[in-house]
A and B are shown apart, each in its own frame.
Chain A
Amino acid sequence: DADVTQTPRNRITKTGKRIMLECSQTKGHDRMYWYRQDPGLGLRLIYYSFDVKDINKGEISDGYSVSRQAQAKFSLSLESAIPNQTALYFCATSEATGTDTQYFGPGTRLTVL
């Protein structure tokens, strides 16, 4: 089984709809991240959480919100989706100490019509 899973893997929605992307991990890591990937723009950090009680904005948090329901679960919400939020979204995890390696999920392809 994959260590970092994301659901759904693909989603098509309409402008104005609320949508939630979910991330679960079995690696036991404290730190979790949400990134957005757009062609030519690389990976941009949306939100990150260093433990269940810690939530921090990344470089492009406007229009997004997150919830850290447990150590293993970190959800990303689009309260009112807009077309320019069409992108590939990745969740990642890392240990709090030691290696700095981030482990990425398989991604969610979101299309907002």
Chain B
Amino acid sequence: QQQVKQSPQSLIVQKGGISIINCAYENTAFDYFPWYQQFPGKGPALLIAIRPDVSEKKEGRFTISFNKSAKQFSLHIMDSQPGDSATYFCAASSRGGSNYKLTFGKGTLLTVNP
């Protein structure tokens, strides 16, 4: 059972364009939604995260939009740059109880052409 569905699987964007990656979740107990960025040969690293008490969070060129009623959240990369080329993973977790762990989407390979 895939609890976090991510799309698209791959994305090609021109330099300066907007990259949009979408995720949908099923478990209404999820209350933390991070995005991780992974460059080739490296481990994933936290990029930006949001909690469901806000609908949007922006950090520089990266924005998370969150729609609680639709159980969807998305990552928007404005003015995309070749250096943004990487694999992006959305994830979700629940703080319910004393035991929590991240459930990851399957990832999106983003290529930004110069």
List residues of chain A with CB under 8 Å of any chain B CB. 4, 33, 40-45, 48, 50, 56, 58, 90, 92, 100-107
Contact = CB atoms under 8 A, between A and B. Distances in A.
Interface of B: 6, 9, 32, 34, 41-46, 49, 89, 93, 95, 99-102, 104-107
Nearest to A101: B46
A103 B102 CA distance: 12
B43 A105 contact: yes
B44 A90 contact: yes
B43 A104 contact: yes
Of A43, A44, A50, A90, the most chain B CB neighbours within 10 A belong to: A43
A33 B43 CA distance: 13
Question: In terms of DSSP, what is the predominant structure of the interface of chain A?
Answer: strand
Q: Which residue of A42, A58, A102 has the most chain B CB atoms within 10 A of its CB atom? A: A42
Contacts, number: 49
B99 A90 contact: no
B89 A104 contact: no
A33 B102 CA distance: 10
A102 B105 contact: no
A22 B64 CA distance: 35
Contacts of A45: 101-102
Given A42-B89, A56-B99, A100 B49 contact: yes
A43 B89 contact: yes
11 contacts: A40-B106, A42-B6, A42-B104, A42-B105, A43-B89, A45-B101, A56-B99, A90-B43, A90-B44, A100-B102, A101-B46
Question: Which of B32, B104, B105 has the most chain A CB atoms inside 10 A of its CB?
Answer: B104
Contact of B44 (A40, A48, A104): A104
